[in-house]
A and B are shown apart, each in its own frame.
Chain A
């Protein structure tokens, strides 16, 4: 028998989701997450999330790529050190292109890897607490409570105007 009971309130309206989130945070129930069919600034603001750290991953990737691009160009040029067109072996001006491309490539990788790490993806834990309607026309607010509070949480969502779904 699980210690916690998970209940989802399914809303049709953005503003009632915001109201429900605010009320949940003040109640004794545990707020877990919101599933939305589209990105919403109102809901994002109501969640009061901390500033994402993804940017730092991107920056580190970019710096690594910048240095890596130049390093790659220098390395390959010195492997076959023929003077071509009177240019020095290590010709910095054209290497900027490789450096630039390296910056973009590793920034993108840094960004994606940062996203996966920070959101702890892939995660299968929450699959069972999902309703497919959240990809359609509903917003799903997921909350948890102790078994004995189950009816209280159901009432809470119903009062907020939601359709309740209980996960066993």
Chain B
């Protein structure tokens, strides 16, 4: 990769920057319009779904790099560095979570309910305190891992921005050897993986499962973090495919990279379905009304049953059969399409989990309209700007091999 190639990439990023900024503006406008309309709870519902989805994508994608380092994997090549760029969404995700506090009256249906002893856990101050601390720990560990991981990749001679300069200064002060850095990566990465599992469990329990406060599934937290890794990998494949399609050979992303990560993606497609099924089986056998009600409303009664089947087909059956073929996994265009469809499917899955609890009167049709789409586009814009910024400041993260 020559210097001129790097420049071309930066220019391309800044051209698309405005497009994504417009998307963000549209999203914000749709959200504010929704808040002032007749159904502010619908706007908050879309906000919550998108917060959960895009945060999970960022957290899951960064997990990929940590997992690759911990397992000493060599196959991932430039994908590993690329996944680190998703950390740029962490600060945004944190702010988005804080904004959620403003909508607490709309997004927690249990606020004025008798919770039969659960109010010790389910109350606003405690919920926001623990989730704020949890996310903060997760993101600090993520950045701690990144701080060390990038020292092995960055080129000190590249044009420097203020951010880069301050990171270089910190590195110079520490003056660590590559072996020391790798050891620190292992520690930070390991802690990040642990925090990922625990914090995503917590988020799953607090922001998704608690919407129906009388329903419990012990496995729900694990289901939530497996899902996060599934869509995180999907988003990473999308980013890799876009870079491959734009830059061709220069990106160093080969067909075998796509094949390998496609296999991992396929495995997580199976694992997602497995966690879904394992929960279903236990509820099916127990046959306790408090537990079965949740499943019956969502999978057997109109209008949600159609959505449930759509989600299952889009997120499991279709990718399963399509990804069986080797040829599909090696083609960036196909993978781009499949992963995008799966992420839309997981968006709908969030709607399926949250919608019935948040719709106060039983709806005749699935509550889904244009403003949901527009708000989601806003979040897409935020994610794209965050990643674009990261790749602009650290362009060599995908171009340079780790210094040995």
Show the binding face of A for B, using Cβ within 8 Å: 85-87, 93-94, 96-97
Q: Which residues in B have their C-beta under 8 angstroms from that of A93?
A: 280-281, 284
12 contacts between A and B (CB under 8 A): A85-B285, A85-B287, A86-B287, A87-B287, A93-B280, A93-B281, A93-B284, A94-B281, A94-B284, A94-B285, A96-B277, A97-B281
Shortest Cβ gap from B323 to chain A (Å)? 14
For the complex with contacts A93-B280, A93-B281, A94-B281, 9 further pairs of A-B residues with Cβ separation under 8 Å are A85-B285, A85-B287, A86-B287, A87-B287, A93-B284, A94-B284, A94-B285, A96-B277, A97-B281
CB-defined contacts of B284 to chain A, threshold 8 Å: 93-94
CA distance A97 to B280 in the complex (A): 12
CA distance A85 to B281 in the complex (A): 14
Chain A interface SS verdict (over half): helix
Question: Closest CB-CB distance, A118 to chain B, in whole Å?
Answer: 18
Number of A-B contacts (CB under 8 A): 12
Residues of A within 8 A of B285 (CB): 85, 94
Which residues of chain A are near B281, meaning CB under 8 Å? 93-94, 97
The 6 closest A-B pairs by CB, nearest first: A93-B284, A86-B287, A93-B281, A94-B281, A85-B287, A96-B277
Query: How many B residues have CB within 8 A of the partner chain?
Result: 6
Bound together, the chains give a CA A86 to CA B284 distance in angstroms of: 11
Mark out the residues of chain B between 255 and 310 whose CB falls within 8 Å of any chain A CB in the assembled complex: 277, 280-281, 284-285, 287
Contact residues in A for B287 (Cβ distance below 8 Å):
85-87
- Which residue numbers of B lie inside 8 Å of A, CB to CB? 277, 280-281, 284-285, 287
* Interface core residue of A93, A94, A97 (most chain B CB under 10 Å): A93
**Chain A residues, Cβ within 8 Å of B280:** 93
Please, which residues of chain B bring their CB within 8 A of the CB of A87? 287
Complex: A81 Cα to B321 Cα, angstroms: 35
Give the distance to chain B from A45, nearest Cβ to Cβ, in Å: 14
Give A42 Cβ to nearest chain B Cβ, in Å. 15
A111 to B342, CA, bound (A): 30
Complex CA–CA separation, A93 to B277 (angstroms):
9
Q: How distant is the Cα of A48 from the Cα of B386 in the complex, in angstroms?
A: 46
Q: Chain B residues near A96 (CB, 8 Å)?
A: 277
Least CB distance, A68 to chain B, in whole angstroms: 19
Assembled-state Cα–Cα distance A94/B282 (Å): 10
Q: In the bound complex, what is the Cα–Cα distance between A97 and B282 (angstroms)?
A: 13
B225 to chain A, nearest CB (A): 23
CA distance A96 to B280 in the complex (A): 12
Q: Chain A residues near B277: list those with CB within 8 A.
A: 96
Q: In the complex, A85 Cα to B288 Cα: how many Å? A: 11
| C-alpha gap A143/B277 in the complex (Å) | 55
Closest-by-CB residue of B relative to A62 is B324
A59 to chain B, nearest CB (A): 8
Residues of B within 8 A of A97 (CB): 281
Cα A123 to Cα B261 with chains together (Å): 38
Least Cβ–Cβ distance between B235 and chain A, in angstroms: 29
Instruction: With both chains docked as a complex, state the minimum distance between the C-beta of B349 and any C-beta of chain A, in angstroms.
Output: 19
Cα–Cα, bound, A85→B285 (Å): 8
* Nearest A-chain residue to B326, judged by Cβ: A55
Closest to B280 in A: A93
User: Given the complex, which residues of B lie within 8 Å of A85, measured CB to CB?
Assistant: 285, 287
